[in-house]
Structure 1
Amino acid sequence: MDNWPVLVHSGIAILGTIVLITKLKVHPVYALLLAILYLGLTGGLGPEGTLTTLTDGFGDILAKIGLLIAFGITMGTALAELGAIDRIVRALIRWFGTRRSPFALGITAGTVLQPIFADVMLVVTAPIARGLARRSGDRGVPIVASALVTGILVGLVMMIPSVGSLALAGVINVPLWKYLIFGTLIGALTIGITIFVMRLLLTRTRLWNPALDEDHEAMDALDAQSEAAESPLQTVAVGTRRAPLWLALSPLVLTLLLIAAGSIGDLLEIENELLLFLANPTFALFLGSGLSLVLVAAYSGGSGVKNSLNRSFTNLGEVLILTGLGGSLAGMVQAIGLGDILAAFFSSSFGPPLLVAWLIAVVLHIAIGSVSVAAITSAGILGPVAAASGVDPLLIALAAGAGSLFLMTVHSNFFWMTKNLLGQSTRGALKVVGFSTSIASVVGLGLVLLLSLFL
């Protein structure tokens, strides 16, 4: 019976967060902060204990991954400044053709482009996606939009070094090398299957009505603006050099190779101080972001470096605060004993932790509209269950990530960006974004459950 007050107050905190964000339009940062304070005060920690737990949890998670997120975003904006993203996508279209290119676009967005902040990636790749959509038949707009949305969002929660994956790994202490290997596998399969299913729905059913669901005038206007904006740059570029694609991507490749080398060293139990230093994810991302900025300076000058850093720091603040509060919530859950209660609950085989992690993230995302907040909150709540129930923390993180994708709709800024940038009406975006994220969520859960048979 003593457990019920903790469970009731935890439910009130979660529902209160949802109401604050959706009904009262309180920013997620303040809504989460109020929920954390409420949990601490009602959980018997007292004012001082509550604040101590909040700040300790905030600091612990940022100490682990704050610099990783900062360097990852900086590298991504540098790649955009070098024009590497544009050339990657165009090359994939040439290699795979228009029929297979949506798969290539989605998987590329979900894997190699994940150092880029999700909103920035959508903005940068949208002109390429619009061009591809025009060459892909009468269902080109929804198929390409679905592929890009699926790739970006699945990668956000399943692919290292994306912001969401780094936060999930940090909240419940999943080794980055492990998340990189299995997250990439599950993520790529989820993206491919989702695109395949969406293509069938869009081409074999009456789901899509181009006359009502597409906005070609908006596409034309956006492309005209892009051409006008690019023309001065193209004039200048005639007399200047452009970084070769292999060189522009070399910092990202080097970063991933260093992290992979460290993972192999761990598996083989190699104890070498130099290897440990170079392969440390923080140093590897620092080195990669630094080299990216050197390339930007060499090919775009000081103004290019300034642009990259300004965009990086603009995106960084809110991401770090939400990530830190996710760590505070995880610490508070542990401090009030909710983790122990849930562990005992699941040890009695009353319910599967992976499914519950997915369901919590589904509910939070539908209510709040934030993929990262839903994933981090769900993982933070269920993370303490992992050790007691014998479930690999990686599976909890991936299940929470999959659940956080379910049914993205009008309360998400990413939804409106997709609608405005990829040529859909609001009705069309509800179909493309809502169906794509829901299918990806269910497919991802299925793949995580399958993976749990082996881990």
Structure 2
Amino acid sequence: MTRLSVEMLAADAVEPITSAGHARLGLAVLAGIAVIVLLITKYKLHAFLALTIGSLALGAFAGAPLDKAILSFTTGLGATVAGVGVLIALGAILGRLLADSGGADQIVDTILAKAGGRAMPWAMVLIASVIGLPLFFEVGIVLLIPVVLMVAKRGNYSVMRIGIPALAGLSVMHGLIPPHPGPLVAIDAVKANLGVTLALGIVVAIPTVIIAGPLFSKVAARWVDVPAPERMLPPRASEELERRPSFGATLATVLLPVVLMLSKALVDIVVDDPTHQVQRVFDVIGSPLIALLTAVIVGMFTLGRAAGFTKDRLSTTVEKSLAPIAGILLIVGAGGGFKQTLIDCGVGQMILDISKDWSIPALLLAWLIAVAIRLATGSATVATISAAGLVAPLAADMSTTHTALLVLAIGTGSLFFSHVNDAGFWLVKEYFGLSVGQTVKTWSVMETIISVVGGGLVLLLSLVI
């Protein structure tokens, strides 16, 4: 993973920008988070503005000079965007290529053609997990909803029996697996190894998505037995194309960055010599930037050109993929600014000082902090960024594997109980034609299962590795 910038590392090492004691710092953190929550929930302010104002409020409540608080925020914002901004952009391009070329439809149709009956929920998990790797959660929902409704109608399934597995696959990828923004920022914040985090994330994700997806969908379908909404399905991307990429080429393109990053992690373990030529090569090709850039370039041929895209069409696809992520980049950047303000005020050290006398494990503490911020703000990304900033000092003496597990503990905590302050809650409600109560009994409970099961698996892994 790309490390934080020199400026950010320097900022971590200097004296705190305030001399406030632990009690005042604790109150300042609560006040800063309260400002963010209030602005997002009550006044419906964009999360970027809320995080910016909340960061300055934190500094003011902690007694930090305003100029130093501003410098901390801008330093953190710049370092975070520098570390993950390009990766988010590359992921967006790959996702758009996958959708516009019909590659996503090709994966869906191929898997559904080979599945039926009781296998269908498992097929939906597989589809969502594969497609969810390069796509943001909201994009994945929009892409998969037509498929979910089509399968539910064609097979006379309850929407929940098909929809919950798909949502579980997307949500687990979003919370635990790089190159999604939340995990990338957390990896940056605690200086975790991306390859190890990715490998352990997959280990945690598989049983978690099985329990929260196909298994829970049986219960959810009994609790909320609704048919597919009677409405016109939106046209699928590939219906306007003369041809679309093959299943094998599409799958290989989607998995290419994952394979490259995992290969780097494996070589790091086997060779374990930074000066060795093989390790140096894999350090380059397995870095997130090169892995995603390679997948994008390959995708232009295996997805775009295979679908008959001209050079102009490819250029338009790339251009359209970048506009929707502007807000995400700003939120992630402002979250990094908030995190750096926390660090520079000495909050991270305060938590380190206080928690060293507690019997609560660091991983559980990280999970609980992420849960609290998720419940308050409704944003998994904001919860991940803020929690990572708070617990980053706890990673100082951790092993490589436990630092990776710290990232996963934060990620699982950030998914806990989505409710009315989460945009995803309303997206699911409207697409599936549910009431608020039905959405809570299905979507919200599913998210909680992912968080609790995933968090439990992270704690279990910490005892054995």
Partner of 1:324: 333
Given the alignment, which residue of 258, 261, 277 partners 2:260?
258
Percent identical among aligned pairs is: 27
Unaligned runs of 5+ in 1: none
Counterpart residue identity of residue 294, structure 2? L
The equivalent of 2:176 in structure 1 is 158
What are the equivalent positions in structure 2 for 1:360-399 lying under 5 Å apart? 360-387=369-396, 392-399=402-409
Q: Structure 1: how far apart are the matches of 2:188 and 2:408?
A: 13
Distance 1:389 1:342, change over 3 A: farther
1:286 corresponds, among 271, 293, 318, to: 293
| Match 1:421 to one of 408, 424, 431 | 431
Count of matched residue positions in the alignment of Structure 1 and Structure 2 = 438
Q: Do structure 1's residue 296 and structure 2's residue 304 form an aligned pair?
A: yes
Structure 1's 254 and 355: CA in aligned 2 closer, same or farther, altered over 3 A? closer
Specify the code of the residue in structure 2 equivalent to 1:172.
Answer: V
Q: Encode CA deviations 1:33-62: one digit per residue, 9 max, x unaligned.
A: 111112223334312211221121112222
Give yes or no for contact 1:215–1:425 (8 Å, CA) kept in 2: no
**Amino acid in structure 2 at the alignment position of 1:24:** Y
**2:56 pairs with 1:29:** no
- Counterpart CA distance in 1 for 2:71 and 2:201 is 33
**Conserved in 2, the CA contact under 8 Å of 1:85 and 1:125?**
no
Q: For 2:283 and 2:458, how far apart are their aligned partners in 1?
A: 30
Aligned partner of 2:12 in structure 1 is none
The 1:199/1:297 distance shift into structure 2, 3 A limit, reads: closer
1:22-101 mapped onto 2 (5 Å cutoff): 22-101=41-120
Deviation at 1:74, TM superposition (A): 0.9
Cα deviation for residue 141 of structure 1 reads: 0.6
For 2:304, the aligned partner's letter is V
Q: CA deviation at 1:429?
A: 2.4
Q: Select 2:216's aligned residue among 195, 198, 220.
A: 198
What per-residue deviation string (whole Å, max 9, x for no partner) do you get for residues 345-389 of structure 1? 221124333223222222222222211111221122112222257
* Residue 349, structure 1, aligned to residue 358, structure 2: yes
Q: Do residues 242 (structure 1) and 244 (structure 2) align?
A: yes
Q: Is residue 226 of structure 1 aligned with residue 235 of structure 2?
A: yes
Give 3-state SS (helix, strand or coil) of 1:405's partner. coil
Give yes or no for contact 2:199–2:262 (8 Å, CA) kept in 1: no
**1:109 paired residue number:** 128
Contact 1:69 1:166 survives alignment (8 Å): no
Please say if residues 171 and 326 of structure 1, whose CA atoms lie closer than 8 Å, have aligned partners that are also in contact: no
Q: Is the 8 A contact 1:347 1:388 kept in 2?
A: no
Instruction: Give yes or no for contact 2:257–2:295 (8 Å, CA) kept in 1.
Output: yes
Question: In the alignment, what sits opposite 1:143?
Answer: 161
Task: State the SS of the aligned residue for 1:222.
Answer: coil
State the TM-score, normalizing by the size of structure 2.
0.87
Tell me whether 88-97 or 141-150 shows the greater mean CA deviation.
88-97
Distance 1:8 1:411 in 2: 24
Q: Of 384, 401, 414, which aligns to 2:411? A: 401
Q: 2:450 aligns with which of 417, 420, 440?
A: 440
| Aligned counterparts of 1:375 and 1:136: Cα–Cα separation in 2 | 38
Alpha-carbon separation, structure 2, partners of 1:378 and 1:110? 25
Work out the CA distance in 1 between the residues paired with 2:165 and 2:347.
Answer: 39
Distance 1:2 1:257 in 2: 47
In 2: Cα distance, 1:266 partner to 1:230 partner = 41
State the shift of 1:155 in Å: 0.9
Asked if structure 2 preserves the Cα contact closer than 8 Å seen for 1:405 and 1:440, the reply is: yes
The offset of 1:215, in angstroms, is 6.2
Residue 430 (structure 1) aligned to one of 440, 447, 453: 440
User: Could you tell me the TM-score, scaled by structure 1's length?
Assistant: 0.89
Q: 1:329 to 1:449 in 2, by over 3 A?
A: same
Deviation string 1:186-208 (CA, Å, 9 cap, x unpaired) is 112111011244234235x5x22
Say if 1:418 and 1:296 are closer, same or farther in 2 by CA, change over 3 A.
same
| Cα shift at 1:291 | 2.2
